[in-house]
Structure formats: C-alpha cells, structure tokens
Amino acid sequence: MFVHTVFFWLRHPESQDDHQALRAGLEGLKSITDITTAYVGTPAETRRPVIDHSYDFALTLVFADKAAHDAYQVHPGHLAFVDKCSHLWERVQIYDAVS
C-alpha cells in the first residue's frame, strides 16, 4: 500500500470562493481510477502542541502500490487539477508512506 498525503495552504484563506474552488478540485481527483481510497478534509478542532492545524485542506490518497501512485502523478485528471488550481495555494507539503 502507498499512502500519499498532501496539505494545502491557500494563498487567500479568507476567500470563500477560493475554499470552494480548491475543495471542488480536490473532490474531482476522486474519480481517478488508480486511487483506492480518497479523503479530502480540513483541520480538526484538536489543539495540542504536537498538532499542526495551520493548513487549509488535507488530501489523503491510498494506492495499491508505488506504480499506481506514479500513474496518478501523470494522469490527465491530476495534471488538469494542478493546472486549474495551483494559483489558489501558496504552499503544499507532501508526505508519502508505504506499508
């Protein structure tokens, strides 16, 4: 299993239009067949010193293996998302894990 977790910080976090546009773009990724499981969320209301809640959106994608992840990275749907939505964020942080 290959888990790909991406955190997004919006360029204009005060803009509800930007929130809606990024959420719509992230939700659209769920239709890519290489993905086994997809989750889009926002920071939980947990506040402890070890929790970073500074991001605006989190995307967690689970793939069967690295090959499926690699196929996703060049999938036209993923490339279209980046092209359409990259102007919305100022920072992206990615964590990949395997089991």
**What does the pLDDT look like over 62-76, one tens digit per residue?**
999 999 999 999 999
Mean pLDDT of 66-92: 98
Q: Which DSSP letter does residue 64 get?
A: S
The DSSP H or E segment spanning 37 is: strand 35-41
Instruction: Please tell me the predicted confidence (pLDDT) of residue 43.
Output: 95
Q: How many CA within 13 A on the CB side of residue 71? A: 13
- Short-list 88, 95, 85, CA closest to 25: 85
Mean pLDDT of 31-39: 97
Instruction: Show the tokens assigned to 32.
Output: 């890519």
Confidence of residue 7 (pLDDT cuts 50, 70, 90): very high
Please state the pTM of the whole predicted model: 0.94
- For 5-15, b/e burial (b = at least 16 CB within 10 A) is ebbbebeeeee
